[in-house]
Structure 1
Amino acid sequence: MLRTDHERTADTSAVPAGVEQVDWLHEDGREKLQLRARAKLARVLGRGEQDKRLRRYQALAERRVQRGLAMLSRGRVVVTDRLHAHILSVLLDIPHVALDNNYGKVSGFARQWTGNYEGYRSAATRAEAFEIACADLGAN
């Protein structure tokens, strides 16, 4: 789960062969169509403009969290530079290696709140992150 947006790190080295690289910013076209259809239905069924907006955002948030959980659950070890992927990995008890984003948000949060979690490792580079992840896989 590696960032592809403006917060990604400068380290864009390749991921090892056989490793799936994803970013939850990229939604499937069918998912987008379903979300739009639900939003239109909510607009028709909603009472006021505020209610319509709330329902639309709630449905979008719920769908995206479910999609993120499904993505993270596919792997045995997650390598990420996304704060929410780190948090969800902790909550799901998925071993993971966290890289920092471009301004230190991930490491700052981890140091303060989740640094003692047994399934968490940190790395400075992608190469180091995948080395740690592969070593963790070998230990399991």
Structure 2
Amino acid sequence: MNNCTELVPHAKVMTDLKESLSKVAEVINSDTIHYVDIPVHGNVGDILIMAGTIKFLEDNGIRRTQTSGYFNYSPNWAEPGVPIVFHGGGNLGDLYACPQAIREEVVSKCHGNRIVILPQTIHFSDTEKYEACCAIFSKHPDLHIFVRDAKSVALARRMTPNVYLSPDMAHQLWPMTKRPRQGSGRLRFLRTDDERGSENSSDEQKSIDWPELIGWHGTILRAYSKIGQLPLIRSFRLTANLHSAGWLLYSSYLIERSASYFSKHAEVDTDRLHGHILSSLLGIRNTVRDNSYGKNGNYVSCWTQTSDLVRSVKQIEHGDY
């Protein structure tokens, strides 16, 4: 290995990342919150973030008085003095219009509430949309944004002075118990959506992505999401909360299903950020390829590249391994 940062035991890296999330509780600074934009879809990566967030809130004695998807939350439900906390991930920007729309609506209308955006990767392909977002966000007097990489820090500084570099909330799940079956072979876990990276070549051997992994459960998820958007559900706090409660129970099964599948393998090759993070939570050796706009490479460089179980394709190409 040449010029590579000195590697350290994987368990230490993961423990340190989990402990660094304590800053989130300091910024929330409340024992009750509204938790908004929970992921009601089949991307298990987002579900892992949600599970980590809920565990973090429970571990820190923070109660959710409202839990909603982006499609069934109203700014009118904001309670005086109660922070509104947005789910983390990679949808702050113009790639995913609906979650961005509810963020901008809440930030523009709820100036009396502290707003905390949990660790995000920020990406705008349209400069005008970025400027519009900055104009809305910068007017809020108590907006706090956690971001997952240095590039996102620079973008967030235009939105608020309250910006914090932080790892993903899924790290609160460390350690996840590796399933009993002895892992063998290599899992190729590669994106099939618009974030597919150039390193993910279609002529390579067979791979799998979240839709194939969850299989027929995807049909149930789509139906459950549509139910949550019905007027009777999305118009009332109680029904929105009940819808979310049912989803949280079901989503735990999807995490278990995914973890069990990953644990059948001794190594994972992935361009999914949470393919990397789930492998790391399970203590499985993994190689990380980049997605379409550099999210994975930036994350690994910032947080996990020192682990003795993690390597990136860029590190291999540069002769660091």
TM-score by length of 1: 0.68
Q: Which has the higher mean CA deviation after the structures are superposed, 61-70 or 82-91?
A: 61-70
Is 1:8 aligned to residue 196 of structure 2?
yes
Which protein has the larger Cα radius of gyration, Structure 1 or Structure 2? 2
Kindly state the Cα deviation for residue 105 of structure 1 after the two structures are TM-superposed: 0.6
Specify which of 22, 32, 40 is matched with residue 208 of structure 2: 22
Whether contact under 8 Å (2:259, 2:278) holds in the other structure is yes
Kindly state the Cα deviation for residue 89 of structure 1 after the two structures are TM-superposed: 1.1
Whether contact under 8 Å (1:96, 1:119) holds in the other structure is yes
Gaps of 5+ in 2: 1-188, 228-237
Q: Secondary structure at the match of 1:25?
A: helix
- Higher relative CO (Cα under 8 Å, sequence separation at least 6) belongs to 1
Is 1:63 aligned to residue 250 of structure 2?
no
Aligned residues: 116
Higher strand share: 2
Whether contact under 8 Å (1:90, 1:117) holds in the other structure is no
Q: Hey, what's the Cα distance between the residues in 1 that align with 2:192 and 2:219?
A: 22
TM-score by length of 2: 0.32
Higher helix share: 1
Amino acid at match of 2:289: L
Identity of aligned residues (%): 30
Kindly state the Cα deviation for residue 97 of structure 1 after the two structures are TM-superposed: 0.6
Q: Secondary structure at the match of 2:311?
A: strand
Number of the residue aligned with 1:104: 294
Q: Secondary structure at the match of 1:89?
A: helix
Which consecutive segments of 4 or more residues in structure 1 shift more than 4 A? 32-37
Gaps of 5+ in 1: 41-47, 130-140
Kindly state the Cα deviation for residue 34 of structure 1 after the two structures are TM-superposed: 6.5
RMSD: 2.9
